[in-house]
Structure 1
Amino acid sequence: MNEPIPRESTHAYRAMRDFVQAMDDTLPGRFEITKEGIVHDLRAPAGRHALTTLHLRKRLESVMPEENVAHAGVPDVEDEAEGIMRRPDLMVITWADMDVPGSFEPRTLIAAVEVVSRSNPDNDWVTKVRDYPLSGIPVYAVFDPRTGTGAVLSDIHPTPDGPRYATRKDFVYGEDVTIAEWTISTEGLPLYGS
């Protein structure tokens, strides 16, 4: 059960959210809010990052039922009680759960998929591994074009530090990977050049 966050924390979160929303179209890159504060990825996803995201979206949508979508883009996924606002590269969600005003409720996501950023890999491998189970996102898949590897994390369970993923299945590009209920190929996913 989530503890209510103190009033000052709610106020600080709302101030950060207002800042992020004001800066979104003003400064380059992407802003998100973590348990520690604001993360600014200076480089907007482009090139092989965007190409990997597109490959994954198309592969997932080819095996999922019609009522699901692998959505890329806005809005954010927001858990105000936890003080977290994220924008996964792909959100596996039903069409019905997308039909909401404002941000998506994280517990409506079937999975979050991230392509590791070259400029800030710890955001995908460390802070999102912590933040996504806190927000109740049941499956988190990470694809790392730096190394041609990745992992699918699932099975949220309680720990003294809060909810965490209990299961981690590592993979190497070229292997099939299962995200939630759907298995896709990782064959031919682009790698970052040197």
Structure 2
Amino acid sequence: MDDTLPGRFEITKEGIVHDMAAGIGPHELTTLRLRKRLEKVMPEELVAHTGAPDVDVEGDVMVIAWADMDVPGSFDPRTLIAAIEVVSRSNPDNDWVGKMRDYPLIGIPTYAVFDPRTGTRAVLTDIHTTPEGPRYATRKDFVYGEDVTIAEWTISTEGLPRYAGSGSPDS
């Protein structure tokens, strides 16, 4: 189906999600800017990976060591340092609900969500055990324009685009 239908497919706990809006300008531009900004401040042995993942996690940007990518087959999602999602306009619950639940379950220590609909973001850390399963204990909310710390690295969010009609001059 990937070759015949537009958009992107993701496998979640609820099943297969078809994101028709994948590939739209603000989403891709945000992903690219975040990757480039992270790679400027991260050590050389790490990469902010935005390619088609060889992992069971469908993140827009995945921070991982080069060495952890150099394995036969898919790389282990537990080796990710951070997963960064840019919220899709058509399916925001996938990032704000599903992945917020699923990522601590597979042990991703830092999860950052950027939402071009609202110009807000959140960084979630500190996985702890709850009766419902592992969850992030710490959530830091910010707005576009402020600096954000993802794992150990602080980057600017100045100039990140918003979706058209969101009320931002950047849209």
So what's the TM-score if we normalise by structure 2? Answer: 0.92
Provide the aligned C-alpha RMSD in A.
Answer: 1.1
4+ long deviations beyond 6 Å: none
Does the CA contact (< 8 Å) of 1:150 and 1:170 recur in 2? yes
Structure 1 unaligned residues grouped into runs of 5+: 1-22, 79-85
Structure 2 residue 116 is the aligned partner of structure 1 residue 145: yes
How far apart are 1:191 and its partner, in Å? 1.1
Report matched runs for 1:56-95 at 5 Å: 56-78=34-56, 86-95=57-66
Over alpha carbons, which structure has the higher Rg? 1
* Amino acid in structure 2 at the alignment position of 1:185: S
How far apart are 1:76 and its partner, in Å? 4.2
Tell me the equivalent position of 1:104: 75
How far apart are 1:157 and its partner, in Å? 0.5
Q: For residues 39 and 90 of structure 1, what CA distance do their matches in structure 2 show?
A: 18
Q: How many residues end up aligned between the 2 structures?
A: 165
Structure 2 unaligned residues grouped into runs of 5+: 166-171
Report matched runs for 1:4-23 at 5 Å: 23=1
| Percentage of matched positions with identical amino acids | 82
Q: CA offsets, 1:72-100, max 9 Å, x none?
A: 0222432xxxxxxx310000001111112
Structure 2 residue 28 is the aligned partner of structure 1 residue 50: yes
So what's the TM-score if we normalise by structure 1? Answer: 0.82
Q: For residues 99 and 24 of structure 1, what CA distance do their matches in structure 2 show?
A: 25
Q: For residues 100 and 33 of structure 1, what CA distance do their matches in structure 2 show?
A: 22
Q: For residues 86 and 54 of structure 2, what CA distance do their matches in structure 1 show?
A: 16
Q: For residues 49 and 156 of structure 1, what CA distance do their matches in structure 2 show?
A: 27
Does the CA contact (< 8 Å) of 1:53 and 1:90 recur in 2? yes
Does the CA contact (< 8 Å) of 2:60 and 2:84 recur in 1? yes
Q: CA offsets, 1:84-125, max 9 Å, x none?
A: xx3100000011111123322111000000011011111111
Higher fraction of helix: 1
